[in-house]
Amino acid sequence: MSVREWQGITIPVAGEFALDGAHTRVGFVAKHMMVSKVRGNFAEFSGKIVIAENPAESAVDVTIQAASINTGVGDRDTHLRGDDFLSADKFPEVTFRSTAVQDFSGDEFTLVGDLTIRDVTKQVALKAEFGGAATNPWGQEIFGFSAEAELDREVFGLTWNQALEAGGFLVGKKIKIEIEGEAVRQA
């Protein structure tokens, strides 16, 4: 395993890594009817993480297939793929491209970048955590990570909603992004 010490933690040496789709979950949580939470994920995505010599100059580039959204309820997923929400036919990809790595504290940091949904790009800050580096049973160098952020879906044009008789709305305005995963060093 090619690792090095940096600010008290063991991290991979510089290089390019790819998201491991079998060990990564790109998920989200939304409020439903003001009283409960609906969880979902995107099943199809790809991404590259470049660990720089100076880890603060590292970069992340992720592409998510909008049509791969899955909440476990077919009718809801069809609605989310449609024009009221993601418009997956017109805007098939959701992308994230980092612009800065900031606020290091041990294995935690902030990953700032441009998130594009429905051709609307906004800066978001993901609270991230480095999970450690290892060599898997097949001899591949990997590292684990997690990241989360809360965003206002309406700034991306996801404004559909329905008022409830008792007050409030069917779908919450805030969406929590939850990512857990592994990345594999590329040859």
Q: Residue 163 pLDDT > 80, yes or no?
A: no
Instruction: Tell me which H or E stretch contains 116.
Output: strand 108-117
Spans of all domains in the chain: 3-185
As a whole number, mean pLDDT of residues 146-174 equals: 72
- Give residue 169's pLDDT: 45
Does pLDDT of 170 surpass 80?
A: no
Residue 168 — very low, low, confident or very high, per pLDDT cuts 50/70/90? Answer: very low
Q: How far apart are CA 3 and CA 11, in angstroms?
A: 5
3-185: CATH architecture: Beta Barrel (2.40)
pTM of the entire structure? 0.91
Q: How far is CA 65 from the centre of its chain?
A: 12
d(CA 27, CA 52): 27
Residues with Cβ within 8 Å of 169's Cβ and at least 6 positions away in sequence, in order, are: 34, 161, 162, 163
Tell me, what's the pLDDT at 164? 44
Share of the chain above pLDDT 70, in %: 89
Angstrom distance (rounded) from CA 50 to CA 186: 10
Look at residue 171 in the predicted model and tell me its pLDDT: 61
pLDDT of 84-108, one tens digit each? 889 999 999 999 999 999 999 999 9
**Other Cβ atoms within 10 Å of 123 Cβ, number:** 10
The Cα 97–Cα 145 span in angstroms is: 17
Average pLDDT, the chain: 90
- pLDDT value at position 173? 74
